[in-house]
Chain A
Amino acid sequence: MNPFTLLARLVDEAPRRALVLLAVLVAVLLVAPVALDRYLLSVFFLIFWFATVGQAWNVMMGLCGQLSLGHALYVGLGGYVGAVLWVKFGISPAIAIVPAVLVAMAFGAAIGWLGFRFGIEGVYFALLTIAFAEVTRIGFDNWSYVGGAAGFFIPVTAGGGSAINLRGGPLLFYYVALALMVAAFVICAALRRSRLGHAWLAVREDPEAARALGINVFRAKMAAVIVSSAMTAVAGVVYAFYQSNLFPSQSFDIARSIEMILAPIIGGLGTLFGPILGAFILTPLGQTLIALVEKIAGRAIPGVNLVFYGAALMVMIWFAPNGIWPWLKKKLGIPEERS
């Protein structure tokens, strides 16, 4: 099926109001930079970025039911491959995305094979993903070719460099991240409606029943982890060039992995809008809390805003355990997504 017919089918099948909402959102975001200052641009970059990686993670957990707590691994791998190829070999990140994705896919496949072949599930699988991320972190910490724990730096040539090499200001990254978010959405929407997507949902609901239906459960799960790692790695390349420096302790950190999965869970696991909505809630929430504490207390009190952030997470999961999007969808009168 060519992408256009696929897209046409998507438009045809998706709930009308959701599509209108999406179109309006994208249109607004496309022209928004005219009204946004640089601070807001940089906040929006983070929103788009977290929506993208959240979407990618959602493929594994939301669609296929495999809990990964080590997704920072693919961000870090993608970032390192992209950065090393650019700095050491002068290969543009536009091209380096391919090897970056391949490397991440290889790691994803290794974890998946180990996990699914040996029937490691749930919390056990989650810890397996953490273990891989941590082992990779320690490996990079001790690998001097990429700078080890001292970090790897992408030179920032003032004024030089071009957009295709991801050298530029916040406006460039705003649009790149927006494109990533939209692409991730479209890919996930397409996948969800493909045969593979149906297989994933079946596996998520009941692996035994899926097997009885003739679905190759192992292959479906492998496809999920590979797709998810590939998408995450692309976001990883962009992030590396946004910050222009990489440290194993930050890139592969478990705290990073956790940060990445908050948005899709809070937004609505397994839904297409969930990761986007979650990112639009959580990133601004964090930023607002910082400003709010400053305003009320007159100065930053370290920790206070994060205490409120933690409390907000608990409140949200308490009142909307399925995520905010399913609740919001009911309010907006959007019918259930057909699957």
Chain B
Amino acid sequence: MLWSLYGNVLVQGVLTGLVYGLMALGLSVIFGVVRVVNFAHGEFAVVAMYAAFVLFRSFGLDPFLSMLPIAAAFFVIGYGLQRTLINPFVSRPEHEQFILLVGLAIIMVNGTLMIFGPDARSANLPYSFDSWEIGPIILDKVRVYAAIAALAVAALLFAFFRFTSTGVAIRACADNLVGAAVVGLNVKQLYALTFGLGLACVGAAGALMVTLTDATPMIAPAFTLLAFTIVIIGGMGSMAGAIVGGLLIGIAEAMASVVIAPSMKTMVSFGLLVLVLALRPQGLLGRRA
């Protein structure tokens, strides 16, 4: 019985961790290239959750499908934001970026409150409550789907950065900004693309989240903090790091719930964070800046 308990908890940690990882991936991509810390990250995730909820409620669109248009829309939003609002702040000190994005976050939280009210919203898919039983292990259908989708999105992003000329150019920007400008890359354009891609990740992750948990305006700060922790543990700017960090946090929190106490589980992720900061400040998969 004990082993089946640990087995189940481990599986849940892995599945949830992958979706967390996707959410953090957006933050990591943006920071790695644009060097802006998106303090409104969780708020974007929540807006995406509401978007998926509305599409489901109004058109019956399954969030696993609507994540594509949402990601596309978020790409456009991100591109526009970077071009207009964020760009003047790219070279500014962190605390100024911080105020700008905190202001944006406050608007988003209270805007969603005004539009959708405070009640929790979720997408009730016909298979929301289904699960597979494999021996003693129980697999939730939506969690498995969400994890697979998260992996797929992450893989697409990897491929983009690896195999497309734009992706390579963006990486060049991240590695050597001056060099990139010298060889004639349009840095502004690439930054905007990157911010768009980062938000597309959050958009997709938000759509997936709404199948797992409920959207309320007030959960956003928790998401921001979570994404931060994951990214720092995995390594700021490292894409694989974000996924690994997500997995690690997912598993650690799940295990801590069983071994210690559920109410203490976030303490474990923060403990991990402090440990990583002290022993390997660039993050598990990050490179020394």
Residues of A within 8 A of B (CB): 61, 67, 114-115, 118-120, 122-124, 126-128, 130-132, 134-135, 138-139, 141-142, 254-255, 258, 261-262, 265-266, 269, 301-304, 306-307, 309-314, 316-318, 321
Contact = CB atoms under 8 A, between A and B. Distances in A.
Nearest to A306: B110
Contact of A318 (B94, B100, B225): B100
Given A120-B277, A255-B221, A313-B102, A134 B266 contact: yes
Contacts of B65: none
A255 B229 CA distance: 17
Interface stretch (B120-128, B150-158, B241-249, B267-275): B267-275
A207 B14 CA distance: 42
Contacts of B100: 313-314, 317-318
Interface string B60-89: 000000000000000000000000010010
Given A67-B95, A114-B274, A303-B111, A254 B103 contact: no
B178 interface: no
Q: Which 6 A-B pairs have the closest CB atoms?
A: A310-B106, A313-B103, A303-B110, A314-B103, A310-B107, A306-B110
Given A67-B94, A307-B106, A321-B92, 10 more contacts: A67-B95, A115-B277, A118-B277, A123-B236, A127-B232, A127-B277, A134-B266, A303-B111, A303-B114, A306-B109
B106 A306 contact: yes
B281 A119 contact: yes
A317 B103 contact: yes
Contact of A321 (B96, B228, B261, B266): B96
A128 B274 contact: yes
B278 interface: yes
Given A127-B229, A304-B110, A310-B110, A269 B95 contact: yes
21 contacts: A61-B95, A118-B277, A120-B277, A120-B278, A127-B232, A128-B273, A131-B229, A135-B267, A142-B261, A265-B98, A265-B99, A303-B114, A309-B106, A312-B103, A313-B103, A313-B106, A314-B85, A314-B100, A314-B103, A314-B107, A316-B99
Contact of A310 (B104, B236, B279): B104
Nearest to A302: B113
Nearest to A130: B225
Given A118-B278, A321-B92, A135 B271 contact: yes
Contact of B96 (A258, A304, A310, A317): A317
Nearest to A117: B278
Most buried by A among B85, B92, B281: B281
B105 interface: yes
Contact of A120 (B98, B266, B281): B281
Contacts of B270: 131, 134-135
B263 interface: yes
B30 to A, nearest CB: 12
Contacts of B228: 127, 130
B37 interface: yes
Interface in B248-289: 261, 263-264, 266-267, 270-271, 273-274, 277-279, 281
Contacts of A139: 267
A58 B107 CA distance: 26
B103 A310 contact: yes
A61 B98 CA distance: 13
A312 B107 CA distance: 10
A61 B221 CA distance: 23
Contacts of A265: 95-96, 98-99
Given A127-B229, A262-B99, A122 B106 contact: no
A33 B113 CA distance: 37
Most buried by B among A118, A261, A302, A307: A307
A149 to B, nearest CB: 8
A316 B96 CA distance: 10
B37 A123 contact: yes
A296 B273 CA distance: 47
Interface in B111-148: 111, 113-114
A135 B92 CA distance: 31
A175 B64 CA distance: 59
Contacts of B103: 310-314, 317
B268 to A, nearest CB: 10
A123 B94 contact: yes
A67 B94 CA distance: 9
B105 A304 contact: no
A328 B102 CA distance: 24
A53 to B, nearest CB: 16
Contacts of A254: 221, 225
B151 to A, nearest CB: 26
Most buried by A among B96, B103, B264: B103
Contacts of B109: 306
A164 to B, nearest CB: 38
Contacts of A119: 281
A303 B281 CA distance: 39
Contacts of B263: 138, 141-142
Nearest to B97: A317
Contacts of A122: 94
Nearest to A259: B102
A277 to B, nearest CB: 15
A67 B100 CA distance: 16
A64 to B, nearest CB: 13
A314 B263 CA distance: 36
Contacts of A266: 99
